[in-house]
C-alpha cells in the first residue's frame, strides 16, 4: 500500500464531484447561509428568504452552545494538550446540539487563525477561510453524510477509499455521519478497521439519538460524549434572548412554558417559539402558548376526571359521548387523565405545579389532593395504566374506554384496604364503599351533580364527623397519622366524646405538644376545629386495656365451659392458646 504522505493528491474538482454524488451532499456552489446569533444581525439577501429560528440561531462557537459545559471542557483540555481522539461519538435526544457540536469540532481542528498561523483551538476565529467555508457548508475536506439515507456498504466504501488521500486544503479531513445507528450491520463491519486505525489526517465524528443501536465494536473505537437535556431555566433564558433579538415581546411565563414543552431540546423550543410568534399578536402570552399546544383542552379532561371522582355515572357517559363526537382519541384522553392524576399526586406530596398547566388546572389538582387519599390515588393510577393497555388490544377502543372509566368510578369510592383491615382487627363495621365528596349514606352514586351540590356545606361537615371515639381514631389513621392514632388507642382513656370536643385522661406519658398536634391532625382529617382537653381523672380504660379485658373475659368463659373443663380434666397439659371473637 502506498504511504499516505506519498500518495498523489487527486484533482480537487474530481474528489468534490465523487463525494457529492456518492454522499448526497448539496451541489457545489450552493453554500448554506451562515447562522445569526442572538444580538447579531442575520445576514440576508434577496435570495435567502425567511429562515426559521432553529437555523438562524444555530451555535457558531462553543461559547454559544448551551447546556454542555462538561463536554466543552473535555474538548478544550484535549485540544490544549494535543490529545485529540481520531473518532468522536455524540449521543443525546434530538435538538441538544449533536450536529452543531460536530461542526464546531471540525472548525476547531481546522482553524488557522486570522493570520493563517494558528493551530487547533477550542475558540475558532470564524474569520479564516477554513472557518468560513465550514460555516457555509462548502469545505471540501469536511464531509457530512446522512446515514438514514446512506445505509449500505457501498456508501461506507466510498469513505474508506477517500480516506487514503490527504486533505486538500485543511489540516484534517473530517467525516461527520449523522444518525449513525441507521447504518446496516455490514456497513458497520466494513468501517471497523478504518475506524480503529485511520490515517493521521482523518477524523470521524458520529451523531446518534439511539446509542443502544450502535454496535459495541464501534463504541469501543470512539470517544463518547453524552449531550444532556438542556435545563428548563437555561432554555427559557436562551429563548428570551432570541425573542429580544427578533424584536418580539414574550411573557416570562410563556418562555418557561415553551422551555418546559421542549423537553430539553433547543431546536424543538425554537420551533415552538417560531410558531408562537406567528400564532400570536404583538405580545406572546402563556395562555396563547397553552392554546397553541392544545393544552387548553385539558379542561375537558378535568371534567371527565371530576365525574369519575364524584361517582357521577350519567355525567361521565355524557362527557365521553361528547369527546367521541369531537374525534378525541380514547388513548389520548386516558393519557390526559393519567397526567391529571400525576398532577394531583404531586400537589398532595407538596411538589411544584406543572407550568404547562393553567392556574385553574393547578388549583383543581390542589383541591382534589385535599380530598383524595394516597391509596385512592395509587388505585386510580394503576387502573388507568391497565385501562390504557386494554385500549391498545380492544377491538373497539371507545368501548374499552367506557368500561375502563366505569371501573374507575367503582374503584374511586372503595374504602382504603388498610382501613378495612384495621376496622376488622378492632371489631368495627366496615362500609361497603367510601362516600364520595358530597354523597350521603343513602346515595347510590348515580344522582346528578346538581343534586349533590344542593346539600348544605354545614350538613356535609357534620355528617363527616366520626360517630364515636373509635371512628375518630380510625379517621386519623386513614389520614396517615398512624403514630398519634396508636397513642390514642394505647395511652389515653376517654372522658367525653362530644364532637368537636374531646376530653381525655392520659394513662401513660405523652409528648408536651400532644394536644396541639392532635387538634391540628384532627382538623386535617375531619375538616372541623377540635377542642382537646386533658383531664386528670374520670377516664375510661384505654381501648387497648378494654380489648385485653374482653379477651381475658372470653378466655375465662371458654375455660368455664363444661366441655372445655372435661377436656382439661382428661388432658391436664392442654392449654388454650388463642381466643378469636365471632366473625374474625
Residue 368 included in any domain:
yes
Is residue 283 included in any domain, yes or no?
no
Q: Is 477 left (phi over 0), alpha (psi -120 to 50) or beta?
A: alpha
- Average pLDDT, consecutive stretches of 10 residues, N- to C-terminus, the chain (584 residues): 40 40 36 42 49 88 88 90 92 89 92 88 91 90 90 90 89 93 92 90 93 92 90 90 89 86 87 84 78 69 86 88 83 87 87 66 82 84 90 89 88 58 58 43 40 39 72 89 89 89 87 85 87 86 88 82 72 67 50
CATH code at 188? Answer: 3.40.50.300
| Residues 81 and 199 occupy one common structural domain | yes
Closest CA relative to residue 3, chosen from 246, 233, 234, 165: 165
Q: What is the pTM of this model?
A: 0.54
What is the structure's pLDDT at 203?
A: 93
188 three-state secondary structure? helix
User: Is residue 412 domain-shared with residue 469, that is, in the same domain?
Assistant: no
Domain ends where: 382, 417, 452? Answer: 417
Looking at residue 358, its pLDDT comes to 63
Kindly give, in sequence order, each residue whose CB lies less than 8 Å from that of residue 185, ignoring residues fewer than 6 positions away. 215
pLDDT of residue 174: 93
Residue 470's CATH number: 3.30.300
Number of domain units in the chain: 3
Task: Report pLDDT for 201.
Answer: 92
Question: Given this model, what pLDDT does residue 13 score?
Answer: 43
Asked if 397 and 471 sit in the same domain, the reply is no
pLDDT of residue 357: 66
pLDDT at residue 204, as a whole number: 94
Residue finishing a domain among 198, 226, 254: 226
The span from the CA of 384 to the CA of 404, in Å, is 7
Measured CA to CA, the distance from residue 215 to residue 222 in angstroms comes to: 11
pLDDT at 426: 61
Single residue among 186, 206, 226 that ends a domain in this structure: 226
Q: 337 in helix, strand or coil?
A: helix
66 and 159, same domain (yes or no): yes
Which pLDDT value is given to residue 17? 40
Cα–chain center distance at 248? 30
Residue 523 lies in a domain: yes
Range of the domain at 95: 4-30+61-226
Q: How far is CA 323 from CA 234, 309, 335, 402, 446, in A?
A: 38, 18, 14, 12, 21
Amino acid at each position: 500500500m502506498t504511504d499516505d504522505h506519498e500518495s498523489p493528491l487527486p484533482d480537487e474538482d474530481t474528489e468534490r464531484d465523487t463525494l457529492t454524488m456518492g454522499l448526497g451532499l448539496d451541489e457545489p456552489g450552493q453554500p448554506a447561509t451562515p447562522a445569526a446569533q442572538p444580538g447579531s444581525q442575520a445576514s440576508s439577501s434577496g435570495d435567502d428568504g425567511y429562515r426559521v429560528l432553529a437555523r438562524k440561531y444555530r451555535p457558531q462557537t462553543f461559547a454559544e452552545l448551551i447546556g454542555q459545559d462538561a463536554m466543552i471542557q473535555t474538548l478544550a483540555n484535549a485540544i490544549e494538550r494535543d490529545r485529540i481522539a481520531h473518532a468522536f461519538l455524540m449521543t443525546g435526544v434530538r435538538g441538544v446540539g449533536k450536529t452543531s457540536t460536530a461542526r464546531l469540532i471540525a472548525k476547531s481542528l481546522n482553524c488557522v487563525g486570522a493570520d493563517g498561523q494558528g493551530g487547533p483551538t477550542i475558540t475558532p476565529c470564524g474569520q479564516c477561510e477554513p472557518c468560513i467555508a465550514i460555516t457555509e457548508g462548502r469545505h471540501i475536506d469536511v464531509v457530512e453524510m446522512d446515514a438514514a439515507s446512506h445505509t449500505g456498504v457501498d456508501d461506507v466504501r466510498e469513505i474508506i477509499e477517500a480516506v487514503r488521500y490527504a486533505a486538500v486544503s485543511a489540516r484534517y479531513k473530517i467525516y461527520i455521519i449523522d444518525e449513525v445507528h441507521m447504518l446496516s450491520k455490514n456497513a458497520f463491519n466494513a468501517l471497523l478497521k478504518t475506524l480503529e486505525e485511520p490515517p493521521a489526517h482523518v477524523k470521524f465524528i458520529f451523531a446518534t439519538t439511539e446509542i443502544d443501536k450502535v454496535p459495541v465494536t464501534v463504541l469501543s473505537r470512539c470517544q463518547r460524549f453524552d449531550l444532556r437535556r438542556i435545563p428548563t431555566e437555561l432554555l427559557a433564558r436562551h429563548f428570551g434572548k432570541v425573542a429580544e433579538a427578533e424584536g418580539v415581546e414574550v411573557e416570562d411565563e410563556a418562555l418557561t412554558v415553551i422551555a418546559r414543552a421542549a423537553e430539553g431540546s433547543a431546536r424543538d423550543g425554537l420551533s415552538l417559539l417560531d410558531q408562537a410568534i406567528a400564532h400570536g399578536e404583538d405580545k406572546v402570552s402563556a395562555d396563547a402558548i397553552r392554546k397553541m399546544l392544545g393544552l387548553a383542552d385539558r379542561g375537558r379532561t378535568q371534567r371527565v376526571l371530576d365525574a369519575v371522582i364524584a361517582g357521577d355515572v350519567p355525567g361521565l357517559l355524557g362527557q365521553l359521548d361528547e369527546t367521541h363526537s369531537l374525534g378525541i382519541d380514547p388513548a389520548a384522553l386516558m393519557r390526559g387523565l393519567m397526567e391529571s392524576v400525576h398532577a394531583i399526586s404531586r400537589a398532595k406530596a407538596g411538589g411544584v405545579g406543572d407550568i404547562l398547566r393553567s392556574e385553574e388546572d393547578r388549583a383543581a389538582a390542589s383541591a382534589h389532593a385535599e380530598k383524595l387519599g394516597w391509596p385512592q390515588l395509587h388505585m386510580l393510577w394503576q387502573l388507568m395504566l391497565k385501562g390504557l393497555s386494554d385500549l391498545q388490544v380492544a377491538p373497539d377502543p371507545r368501548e374499552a374506554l367506557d368500561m375502563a372509566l366505569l371501573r374507575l368510578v367503582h374503584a374511586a369510592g372503595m374504602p382504603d384496604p388498610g382501613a378495612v383491615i384495621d376496622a376488622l382487627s378492632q371489631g368495627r363495621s366496615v362500609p361497603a364503599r367510601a362516600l364520595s365528596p358530597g354523597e350521603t349514606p343513602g346515595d347510590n352514586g348515580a344522582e346528578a351533580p346538581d343534586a349533590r351540590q344542593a346539600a348544605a356545606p354545614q350538613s356535609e361537615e357534620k355528617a363527616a364527623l366520626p360517630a364515636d371515639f373509635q371512628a375518630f381514631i380510625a379517621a386519623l389513621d386513614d389520614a396517615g397519622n398512624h403514630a398519634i392514632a396508636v397513642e390514642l388507642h394505647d395511652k389515653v382513656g376517654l372522658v367525653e366524646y362530644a364532637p368537636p370536643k374531646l376530653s381525655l385522661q392520659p394513662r401513660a406519658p405523652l409528648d408536651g405538644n400532644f394536644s396541639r398536634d392532635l387538634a391540628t391532625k384532627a382538623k386535617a382529617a375531619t375538616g372541623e376545629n377540635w377542642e382537646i382537653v386533658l383531664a386528670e381523672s374520670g377516664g375510661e380504660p384505654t381501648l387497648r386495656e378494654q380489648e385485653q379485658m374482653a379477651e381475658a373475659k372470653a378466655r375465662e368463659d371458654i375455660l368455664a365451659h363444661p366441655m372445655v373443663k372435661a377436656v382439661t380434666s382428661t388432658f391436664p397439659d392442654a392449654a388454650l392458646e388463642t381466643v378469636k371473637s365471632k366473625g374474625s
